[in-house]
């Protein structure tokens, strides 16, 4: 998830671009850059790190008179966070900024290299600007060359491109990534969100997928669906949601597509960041993590052992460090961290390295300490998560573990074509299942007021749904400050059921495609002890006091992702009813960098 901006007009372009990027810095801060085309001169500035570094780099630059400019703040997906990989990406006489992932960039790159193009960066974006210039060798029509370029791309993108050959124009294209065009008194503005054009424009167009063309200073009125802009910046940054956590729950289906993109398609799994011989000699996995990432690891264990038939151990990083663990050269040591700076996980990784184990990081932040320390990495591509209580980071970690399980299975020839297709289609359906149903959210808003008292919550599930129950309990306690515990439902009779009464709330995860009758029996045991029971399922459960219905599914992983969203929304609404600050709960930090 990156942020892009653009401007056409006579005002000071550097200031407008950098101010716009500051409003989008929540979308990425690995690197940033701007390009300004004025008086037939194209100037580009790029810097690693936050936007203040870019400001320092171009502090002496001024752009007088009419011109165009584009800018970008980056969350790395292809290529390390370096100045060379920062945007704008440069060709001979054109510059481009891009938010998204080009799935077929490797094919296009090979073709362009055969035609004599040399590439400077590791990015998928440089391919697009060089393909545009290649197209111009066959036509003088800039728009036609741009259309041909866009038609060659597969993936998600919001693109802004400027070229010395076409001063006064910004070419644009949108597919799957947001892009807004606005008109103010002093020019035309572009942005990934209306937050970055607010205060400059009074009219905007929210582009639809498939929209492409070019803008000059006079062509805004030719656009369709022009509307007035009346929001404030804080509202716009949250895309109209009450909290960042709510926004992040709603965008999970989009970021999960980015997690899959370029890695999984109907033909197979490609993990470019994993060396071909990486799994040689490996017959066991050890996954080490903390908090929400630990719950993802626990769920991933079920998938890895079931799909890839490989023994998988899951360890809590804070305990692992001091347990004098026995390590074997035949185990792959995997660490999971949203920030890449989790202190206990980082120290566990260093311990594994000292024992000469192969290491793999599953992380959201490229160039973080954990990523730099690991032998290989799979980035989750969740984008910046501002809510302290993790939502989309958990979802993308789960998807990466699932993809990795299928990858190992294909490497070991455990999946035939039909078996792989089954997994691929299940992933696609699971992503679709995370798209929030407004009726479900409204139901949970109404239901939440019944769950504000009592002496605690049990969250129960079996198999892969047990770690999901742990995660649901963690979400609730993090932001509502109510006591909540997750349990394997079959363990209730071994002690916890002693707490059951009418003031104990039980949230039961009852899938239809995995151990359904077993968990229904456990629910009935709690009901007989007068526990208040809320069941999340696609079918009615007689023992339930309250039902939260998810959409019917074809397999248990589709149900897993549906229930994940329901648990996140339930925690959100209970916390809001209690008057808590959902995004910044007490006593917690987003990145735990101390023991």
Distance between CA atoms of 295 and 309, rounded to whole angstroms? Answer: 20
What is the DSSP-derived secondary structure letter of residue 566?
H
Q: What is the mean pLDDT of residues 397-425?
A: 95
Distance between CA atoms of 216 and 167, rounded to whole angstroms? Answer: 9
- What is the maximal distance between C-alpha atoms in the chain? 80
pLDDT confidence of residue 591: 55
Tokens 């070019």 label which residue?
A: 214
pTM value is: 0.76
Q: What is the mean pLDDT of residues 103-129?
A: 92
| Element containing residue 425 per DSSP (H, E) | helix 417-433
User: pLDDT band for position 440 (50/70/90)?
Assistant: very high
Q: What is the mean pLDDT of residues 93-114?
A: 93
> What sign does the dihedral 430-477-549-449 (CA atoms) show?
negative
* Phi, psi (rounded to 5 degrees) for 228: -80, 155
Domains 3-237 and 438-577 belong to one CATH topology? no
93 is written with which tokens?
Answer: 């006489």
User: pLDDT band for position 593 (50/70/90)?
Assistant: very low
Cis before 173? omega within 30: no
265 is written with which tokens?
Answer: 């398609």
pLDDT at 407 exceeding the cut of 60: yes
Which residues lie across from 188 on neighbouring strands?
Answer: 8, 183
Distance between CA atoms of 447 and 528, rounded to whole angstroms? Answer: 22
Per-residue three-class SS string for 251-281:
CHHHHHHHHHCCCEECCEECCCCCCCCCCCC
pLDDT at 72 exceeding the cut of 70: yes
Please give the CATH topology (third level) of the domain spanning 438-577: Rossmann fold (3.40.50)
Sorted by sequence, the CB contacts under 8 Å of residue 3 that are 6+ apart come out as: 21, 24, 25, 27, 28, 72, 73, 99, 191, 192, 193, 196
Per-residue three-class SS string for 481-501:
CCCEEEEEHHHHHHCHHHHCC
pLDDT confidence of residue 234: 63
Instruction: Indicate if 2 belongs to the active site.
Output: yes
Distance between CA atoms of 285 and 301, rounded to whole angstroms? Answer: 9
Phi-psi region of 454 (alpha: psi -120 to 50; beta: other; left: phi over 0): left
At the second CATH level, the architecture of 3-237 is: 4-Layer Sandwich (3.60)
What residue ranges do the domains of the chain occupy? 3-237, 245-433, 438-577
Distance between CA atoms of 49 and 561, rounded to whole angstroms? Answer: 34
Distance between CA atoms of 462 and 468, rounded to whole angstroms? Answer: 9
Q: Which residue has the higher pLDDT, 189 or 532?
A: 189
Percent of the chain residues past pLDDT 70, beyond the cut: 95
Contact call for residues 459 and 536 (beta carbons, < 8 A): no
Q: What is the mean pLDDT of residues 264-277?
A: 90
| Element containing residue 377 per DSSP (H, E) | strand 376-379
| CA-to-CA separations, 234 to 192, 193, 196, 334, in angstroms, rounded | 15, 12, 11, 38
| CA-to-CA separations, 165 to 71, 112, 140, in angstroms, rounded | 19, 21, 10
User: pLDDT band for position 594 (50/70/90)?
Assistant: very low
Instruction: Indicate if 38 belongs to the active site.
Output: no
> What sign does the dihedral 162-123-293-442 (CA atoms) show?
positive
User: pLDDT band for position 339 (50/70/90)?
Assistant: confident
CA 515 distance to own-chain centroid = 30
pLDDT confidence of residue 230: 67
Distance between CA atoms of 65 and 510, rounded to whole angstroms? Answer: 65
Q: Quick one: 237 exposed, middle or buried, by C-beta within 10 A (0-12, 13-18, 19+)? A: buried
Q: What is the mean pLDDT of residues 409-429?
A: 94
Q: Which residue has the higher pLDDT, 501 or 286?
A: 286
pLDDT confidence of residue 531: 82
- Cα dihedral 183, 186, 188, 191 in deg (nearest 10): -90
> What sign does the dihedral 126-132-138-140 (CA atoms) show?
negative
Q: Quick one: 451 exposed, middle or buried, by C-beta within 10 A (0-12, 13-18, 19+)? A: buried
Which residues lie across from 56 on neighbouring strands?
Answer: none
Active-site pick, 183, 301, 358, 590: 590
User: pLDDT band for position 82 (50/70/90)?
Assistant: confident
User: pLDDT band for position 47 (50/70/90)?
Assistant: very high
User: pLDDT band for position 115 (50/70/90)?
Assistant: very high
Tokens 């993990």 label which residue?
A: 271
CB burial readout 522-531, b (16+ within 10 A) else e: bbeebbeeeb
Q: Give the CATH number of domain 245-433.
A: 3.40.50.10490
Active-site pick, 2, 288, 290, 363: 2
HSE, CB side, 13 Å, CA atoms: give it for residue 216. 8
User: pLDDT band for position 312 (50/70/90)?
Assistant: very high
């Amino acid at each position: 998830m990156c942020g892009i901006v653009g401007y056409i007009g006579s005002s000071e372009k550097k200031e407008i671009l950098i101010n716009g990027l500051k409003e989008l810095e929540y979308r990425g801060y690995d690197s940033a850059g701007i390009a300004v085309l004025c008086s037939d001169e194209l100037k580009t500035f790029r810097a690693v790190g936050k936007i203040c570094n870019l400001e320092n780099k171009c502090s002496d630059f001024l752009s007088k008179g009419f011109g165009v400019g584009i800018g970008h703040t980056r969350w790395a997906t292809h290529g390390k966070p370096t100045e060379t990989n920062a945007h704008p990406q440069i060709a001979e006489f054109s510059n481009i900024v891009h938010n998204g992932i080009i799935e077929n960039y490797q094919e296009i790159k090979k073709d362009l290299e055969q035609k004599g193009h040399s590439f400077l960066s590791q990015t998928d974006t440089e391919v697009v600007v060089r393909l545009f210039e290649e197209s111009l060798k066959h036509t003088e029509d800039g728009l036609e060359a741009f259309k041909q370029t866009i038609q060659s791309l597969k993936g998600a993108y919001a693109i802004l491109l400027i070229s010395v050959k076409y001063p006064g124009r910004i070419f644009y294209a949108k597919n799957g990534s947001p892009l807004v065009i606005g008109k103010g008194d002093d020019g035309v503005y572009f942005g990934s969100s209306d937050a970055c054009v607010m205060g400059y424009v009074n009219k905007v167009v929210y582009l639809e997928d498939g929209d492409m063309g070019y803008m000059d200073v006079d062509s805004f009125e030719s656009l369709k669906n022009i509307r007035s802009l009346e929001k404030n910046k804080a509202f716009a940054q949250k895309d109209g949601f009450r909290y960042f956590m709510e926004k992040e729950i709603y965008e999970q289906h989009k970021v999960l597509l980015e997690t899959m993109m370029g890695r999984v398609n109907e033909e197979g799994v490609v993990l470019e960041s994993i060396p071909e011989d990486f799994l040689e000699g490996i017959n066991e996995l050890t996954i080490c993590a903390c908090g929400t990432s630990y719950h993802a690891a626990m769920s991933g264990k079920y998938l890895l052992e079931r799909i890839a038939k490989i023994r998988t151990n899951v360890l809590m990083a804070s305990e692992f460090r001091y347990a004098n663990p026995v390590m074997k050269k035949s185990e792959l040591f995997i660490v999971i961290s949203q920030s890449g700076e989790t202190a206990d996980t980082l120290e566990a990784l260093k311990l594994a390295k000292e024992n000469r184990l192969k290491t793999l990081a599953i992380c959201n932040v490229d160039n973080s300490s954990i990523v730099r320390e690991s032998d290989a990495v799979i980035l989750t591509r969740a984008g910046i998560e501002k809510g302290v209580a993790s939502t989309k980071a958990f979802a993308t970690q789960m998807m990466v573990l699932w993809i990795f399980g299928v990858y190992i299975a294909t490497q070991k020839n455990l999946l035939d074509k039909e078996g792989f297709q089954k997994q691929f289609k299940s992933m696609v359906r699971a992503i679709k299942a995370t798209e929030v149903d407004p009726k479900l959210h409204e139901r949970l808003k109404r239901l939440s007021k019944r769950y504000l008292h009592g002496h605690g919550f049990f969250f129960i599930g079996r198999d892969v749904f047990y770690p999901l129950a742990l995660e649901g309990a963690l979400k609730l306690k993090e932001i509502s400050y109510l006591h909540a515990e997750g349990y394997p439902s079959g363990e209730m009779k071994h002690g916890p059921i002693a707490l059951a009464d009418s003031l104990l709330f039980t949230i039961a995860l009852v899938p239809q495609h995995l151990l359904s009758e077993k968990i229904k029996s456990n629910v009935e045991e709690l009901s007989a002890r007068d526990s208040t029971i809320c069941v999340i399922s696609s079918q009615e459960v007689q023992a339930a006091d309250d039902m939260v219905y998810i959409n019917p599914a074809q397999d248990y992983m589709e149900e897993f992702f549906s229930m994940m969203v329901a648990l996140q929304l339930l925690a959100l609404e209970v916390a809001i009813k209690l008057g808590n600050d959902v995004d910044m709960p007490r006593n917690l930090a987003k990145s735990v960098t101390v023991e």
